[in-house]
């Protein structure tokens, strides 16, 4: 009997190392900084870095750099871009890298001070120790009119993730936040993000507090 209990405990311990990184309902903090600059009349470059802390904001587990160019000269209602993303993420106490080139097409329009956009993103995910695969993401955003001298602009958004390897929708994000003007070329963003992600046959919820700082030239 004792032998069976010991074996069961060992099995549970070993299994937990390969299961979810954090518990369902974990509260995280994501911090990002970016800089963008024009390289032509209708084209700009942007560089972003982001750090993520999980396990109720106590564990640094993710870092990525994303750099790319966006062109807006095709039409007033369309932006197209190409980016390269490099990330490092801790899983089972080991850091794994991922190369992720991605291609974006964003449709946008405005009415009565409201800005609407839908971003279509195709990602080629080349993860360490895994076979590469494609993923599609669609993010729909509504920005409300700006107000006050800080140009505060509330927004809401929803984003879905479709994994082509598994042929399924396996993640969904809902955002609510505000943009604000800090200085002439410096803007900030504070948001809450609720994420629901599929892992095996379970859906895990994550609550995220996020901040961003963006410098533009």
pLDDT at 11: 41
Partners of 96 in the beta sheet? 89
The percentage of the chain sitting over the pLDDT mark of 90, rounded to a whole number, equals 86
More confident residue, 121 or 23: 121
pLDDT, residue 21, reads 59
Q: Does the pLDDT of residue 22 top 90, yes or no?
A: no
Question: What's the whole-number mean pLDDT along residues 119-125?
Answer: 98
What confidence score (pLDDT) does residue 23 get?
87
Biggest alpha carbon–alpha carbon distance for the chain: 75
Region 185-199: what's the mean pLDDT?
96
| Multiple choice CATH, 22-216, 1.10.1660.10, 2.60.260.20, 3.20.20.70, 2.40.160.40 | 2.40.160.40
Q: What does the pLDDT look like over 31-81, one tens digit per residue?
A: 999 999 999 999 999 999 999 999 999 999 999 999 999 999 999 999 999
Assess whether pLDDT exceeds 80 at residue 113.
Answer: yes
Cα–Cα distance for residue pair 137/141, rounded to 1 Å: 13
- Spatial neighbors of 15 by CB under 8 A, at least 6 apart, are none
Res 162 pLDDT > 50: yes
Per-residue pLDDT band at 5 (split at 50, 70, 90): very low
pLDDT for 3 beyond 50: no
pLDDT number for residue 45: 98
The neighbour count for residue 79, using CB atoms within 10 Å, is: 20
Mean pLDDT of 160-185: 96
Residue 143 clears pLDDT 80, i.e. is over it:
yes
pLDDT score of 19 more than 90: no
Q: What is the mean pLDDT of residues 100-107?
A: 98
Residue 1 predicted with pLDDT over 60 = no
124's CB contacts (< 8 A; 6+ apart) are 100, 101, 102, 132, 133, 134
Q: What is the mean pLDDT of the chain?
A: 91
């Amino acid at each position: 009997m004792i032998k069976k209990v010991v074996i069961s405990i060992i099995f549970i311990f070993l299994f937990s190392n390969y299961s979810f990184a954090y518990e369902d309902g974990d509260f995280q903090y994501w911090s990002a900084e970016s800089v963008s600059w024009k390289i032509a009349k209708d084209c700009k470059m942007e560089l972003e870095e982001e750090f993520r802390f999980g396990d109720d904001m106590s564990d640094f587990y993710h870092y990525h750099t994303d750099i790319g160019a966006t062109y807006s000269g095709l039409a007033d209602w369309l932006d197209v871009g190409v980016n390269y993303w490099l990330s490092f993420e801790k899983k089972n106490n080991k850091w794994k890298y991922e190369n992720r080139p991605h291609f974006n097409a964003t449709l946008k329009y405005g009415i009565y001070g409201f800005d609407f956009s839908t971003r279509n993103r195709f990602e080629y995910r080349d993860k360490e120790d895994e076979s590469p695969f494609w993923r599609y993401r669609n993010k729909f955003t509504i920005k409300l009119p700006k107000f006050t001298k800080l140009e505060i602009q509330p927004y809401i958004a929803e984003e879905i993730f479709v994994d082509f390897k598994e042929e399924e929708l396996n993640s969904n994000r809902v955002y609510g936040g505000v943009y604000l003007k800090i200085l002439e070329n410096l803007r900030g963003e504070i948001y809450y993000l609720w994420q629901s992600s599929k892992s095996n046959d379970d859906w895990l919820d994550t609550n995220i507090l996020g901040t961003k700082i963006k410098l533009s030239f």
